[in-house]
Amino acid sequence: MRLTRVTLFFISLIMGLGFYRLTDYLLEDLEAQTLQATEESMIDSSQLLANFVGNDHDLADIFQGVEAREFEARIFAVPKNKVGINAYLTDDKGIVLFDSANPKNVGKDFSKWSDVYKTLRGKYGARSSRSDEKNPASSIMYVGAPIRREGSITGCLSVYKAQSDVLPFVRERRQTIIWSVIFIGLGILALIVAVFIWLFRPVGKLTTYARAITRGERRSKPVVGLGREVNTLANALHDMRESLEGRQYAERYIQTLTHELKSPLAAIQGAAELLNEDMPQADRARFVGNIRSQTKRCEELIHQLLELSALEAQTHLENSHQFDLAARCQKSLDEMSPLADSSGVTLVAGLPEKIPFFGNEPLIGSALNHLLENAIQFSPKGGQVTLSAIRSEDDITISVTDEGQGIPDFAAERAFERFYSYRKEGGGKGNGLGLAFVKEVAELHQGSASITPPPDGGTNAQLTFPVANVS
């Protein structure tokens, strides 16, 4: 993605420079091209007037009353309401005989001006001179044409026109070019933005999704918009993830289930073989009880494994609804009361009156039951297990605290690993699936699970949920 963005940046930079160069070229040549077109029409005018004068017509008759003519014309967006072309006439020596716009020039010697000098020698004569040397906009274009009588050049007729008459067309054309380039540039920019929105952003989301899967995080398929291509890619990536996870999941669980069932099955097999021998009734009853306990252990292991596998298969929380979390905590206390009574443990509640919560109530209840069951098992007879809840501005924390011997740090770090179980002093150990189930429930609710030793001894297991789940 980074390389793509860098490449796209350089492409945009090159296109921007190209547009700048094109615009500069068009604007740079615009005035020259307009003046060239104007000069071409002035050549025609000078030749026509020169032919008119060469046939012994008076040039003054043509320009008489021209300035007084009223008309309204619009050349595209530029208005025109007066004649902008004038002319002067010289003899074969370059002396001005007539000037339509500047009568004071009559009698002056223009023989050194380029338009007159070259025209009288049979060449194309033209020039551009400023009426005010300090003002570039005061330039006037002159184009000469020879006056011919009986095959000889008898004078020069020069047509002249102020460049200021042409500049409005240049400015109008310049604005048209600039706005056209701006609109094209904005169109390309919009296209680039659209590519980022429709393609690169979804691809970035899918990349983040894939990396999260690699890290083992549980995330639902991201929303990538309406683009057909990116949605096809998202669905393919999601299907591939489920397929790979399904294979790895099945292989992992078959291996772990086989490993965990070896011990109880071996115990059942050994007890069954001994039952075939003659033995006292008390020993026979003990072996039968061992078979029953190991069978129950296998049953619980398979049941919890199926429960955990169904939970881990969920990529997002399902069947959520609004419920009272405090009431659910109290219900878990009631459900675990028989086990606590049989173990000689007292259950204590430290709950607020009501906690509105949005989530999956059965899963939350199962997680609480697992925590309470663990706490009861690790509590001494006559001990106390406390279930409490604290709500803050950012989150809500549910704590299950017992008064047992506590859990060492190395075991607390691994407590939520699948099939890891800490053996309590003087007793057996669990199957290591209960706390793994609790962790999965917490993460599905965007929360976390942890175990810490309280200052006064025992063990404190916590479920923390973000405030987004609390309404």
Let me know whether 348 and 294 are in one domain. Answer: no
State the CATH number of the domain containing residue 366: 3.30.565.10
Q: Report whether pLDDT(254) > 60.
A: no
Let me know whether 133 and 92 are in one domain. Answer: yes
Q: Is residue 27 part of a domain?
A: no
- What gap in Å lies between CA 12 and CA 459, rounded to an integer? 61
Across the range 286-306, mean pLDDT stands at 66
Number of domains observed in the structure of the chain = 3
Q: Is residue 368 part of a domain?
A: yes
Across the range 105-117, mean pLDDT stands at 94
Let me know whether 355 and 251 are in one domain. Answer: no
For position 433, what pLDDT does the model report?
67
Residues of the chain with pLDDT > 90, as a percent, come to 15
Of the candidates 136, 153, 170, which is a domain's last residue? Answer: 170
Let me know whether 51 and 136 are in one domain. Answer: yes
- What gap in Å lies between CA 388 and CA 368, rounded to an integer? 11
Let me know whether 103 and 118 are in one domain. Answer: yes
Q: Which residues pair with 252 in a beta bridge?
A: none
State the CATH number of the domain containing residue 105: 3.30.450.20
pLDDT class of 86 with cuts at 50, 70, 90:
very high
Of the candidates 170, 193, 209, which is a domain's last residue? Answer: 170
Q: Is residue 25 part of a domain?
A: no
Let me know whether 160 and 43 are in one domain. Answer: yes
- 347-367 pLDDT, tens digit per residue, is 888 888 888 888 888 888 888
Q: Report whether pLDDT(168) > 90.
A: no
Let me know whether 363 and 294 are in one domain. Answer: no
Across the range 400-405, mean pLDDT stands at 86
Q: Which domain holds residue 274?
A: 220-316
HEC profile of 151-197: CEEEEEEEEEEEHHHCHHHHHHHHHHHHHHHHHHHHHHHHHHHHHHH
Q: Is residue 1 part of a domain?
A: no
Q: Which residues pair with 395 in a beta bridge?
A: 466
> What's the pTM?
0.45
- What gap in Å lies between CA 194 and CA 186, rounded to an integer? 12
- 35-61 pLDDT, tens digit per residue, is 888 889 999 999 999 999 988 888 888
Q: Is residue 420 part of a domain?
A: yes
Of the candidates 292, 316, 340, which is a domain's last residue? Answer: 316
Q: Is residue 269 part of a domain?
A: yes
Let me know whether 340 and 303 are in one domain. Answer: no
Let me know whether 326 and 465 are in one domain. Answer: yes
Q: Is residue 465 part of a domain?
A: yes
State the CATH number of the domain containing residue 305: 1.10.287
Let me know whether 88 and 132 are in one domain. Answer: yes
Q: Is residue 325 part of a domain?
A: yes
Let me know whether 325 and 445 are in one domain. Answer: yes
Q: Report whether pLDDT(91) > 80.
A: yes
Nearest to 437 by CA among 302, 308, 299, 257: 308
Let me know whether 332 and 465 are in one domain. Answer: yes
Residue 19: alpha-carbon gap to chain centroid: 26
- What gap in Å lies between CA 441 and CA 371, rounded to an integer? 12
Tokens standing for residue 113: 């001006």
